[in-house]
Amino acid sequence: MAIFIIAEIGINHNGDLSICKELIDNAKSAGCDAVKFQKRDIEKVYSKKFLDSFRESPWGNTQRDQKLGLELSFENYKEIDRYCKEKEIIWFASAWDINSQLFLRQFDCKFNKVASAMIIHLELLEKIAEERKHTFISTGMSTYDDIQRAIDIFERHGCPFELMHTVSTYPMKDEDANLNLIKTLKEKFKCDVGYSGHETGLAISFAAATLGINSLERHITIDRAMYGSDQSASLEPSGLMQLVGGVRKIESAMGDGQKKIIDDEVPIARKLREHISFDLN
């Protein structure tokens, strides 16, 4: 089965629908299977004290101004839904609160996503799992017990899921990748495992693609110099093209693991071994 490649737009659109569409176009052109967004009800996710505090941004001088500037409206999501259908690419989003999960139900997305920060939000997990849609569960900032509690909820609801190995630093240091944990998660929880990467570059994602992952998610951007906390850990259009092309080449190269003489080797073997008496049949 081919690795399911997700282009994480997240909040890299900076609240601009035209940027959303450009990122969707880039993901489609690169050959990604889906794009993903993030949805928050900021009054539920953040305290009033935090939202009232100072933060300079393109939208104003408070945290509230900045957070609201990054949120998309219902009309924006209606247009994203229409545009993705037109472009024939799947879209879905990770909800950071129950209100946002209920909001997303209006669009009947094919998939759900649990962000690493939300894996301990058990009430939200119950709401997601009751939909019984295939759910990608990121495991950054979590313990085995946190993961098991999440799995228990999804199994109780009969909701299909896969874990995603994640390290929640932006950008992630190469030495923190711990890719061998992919195998550990598979063995410990007896489920499919993907990889959600926050590194710079492509090498670690390529390595993950050799470890039997079911899905691969990377943040994407138009320009890594743009405003936003996720931009530096994101792939620009050329990098995204290289990622998808490289992953598909790796999948083709992995083979079935069985030793055999392939047809194209036979004439070479006859030529290089002509001085030896042998039979290839």
Examine the pLDDT at 103 and tell me if it is beyond 70.
yes
Examine the pLDDT at 127 and tell me if it is beyond 60.
yes
Query: What confidence tens digit (pLDDT) does each residue in 5-25 have?
Result: 999 999 999 999 999 999 999
- State the DSSP code for 82: H
Cα separation, 30 vs 56, in Å, equals 34
Q: How many CA atoms lie within 13 A of 40 on its CB side?
A: 20
**How sure is the predictor about 280, in pLDDT bands with cuts at 50, 70 and 90?**
low
Core vs surface per residue 137-148: b (16+ CB within 10 A) or e: bbbbebeeeebe
Average pLDDT for residues 123-150, to the nearest whole number? 98
Q: What is the mean pLDDT of the chain?
A: 97
Peptide bond into 171 cis (omega under 30): yes
Quick one: pLDDT at residue 1?
85
Quick one: pLDDT at residue 279?
62
Which domains can be identified in the chain, with CATH numbers?
4-272 (3.20.20.70)
Single pTM value for the model: 0.95
Q: Tell me the pairing of strands 90-95 and 34-39.
A: parallel
Say if CB 97 and CB 40 are below 8 A apart.
yes
Q: Which of 134, 132, 136, 20 is nearest to 79 (CA)?
A: 20
Taking residue 193's Cβ as centre, other Cβ atoms within 10 Å add up to 25
Average pLDDT for residues 198-208, to the nearest whole number? 97
Quick one: pLDDT at residue 110?
98
Query: What confidence tens digit (pLDDT) does each residue in 157-186 have?
Result: 999 999 999 999 999 999 999 999 999 999
User: What are the structure tokens assigned to 184, written together?
Assistant: 């550990």
3-state secondary structure 187-229: HHHCCCEEEEECECCCHHHHHHHCCCCCEEEEEECCCCCCCCC
Examine the pLDDT at 245 and tell me if it is beyond 70.
yes
Say if CB 50 and CB 72 are below 8 A apart.
no
Quick one: pLDDT at residue 240?
98
Cα separation, 75 vs 90, in Å, equals 18
Cα separation, 8 vs 170, in Å, equals 14
Cα separation, 200 vs 220, in Å, equals 11
Examine the pLDDT at 197 and tell me if it is beyond 60.
yes
Q: Which of 123, 35, 139, 33 is nearest to 83 (CA)?
A: 35
3-state secondary structure 229-259: CCHHHCECHHHHHHHHHHHHHHHHHHCCCCC
Average pLDDT for residues 140-166, to the nearest whole number? 98
Taking residue 41's Cβ as centre, other Cβ atoms within 10 Å add up to 17
Query: What confidence tens digit (pLDDT) does each residue in 51-78 have?
Result: 999 999 999 999 999 999 999 999 999 9
Q: Which residue has the higher pLDDT, 215 or 275?
A: 215
Quick one: pLDDT at residue 278?
58
- State the DSSP code for 95: E
Examine the pLDDT at 41 and tell me if it is beyond 90.
yes
99 CB burial (10 A radius; 0-12, 13-18, 19+): middle
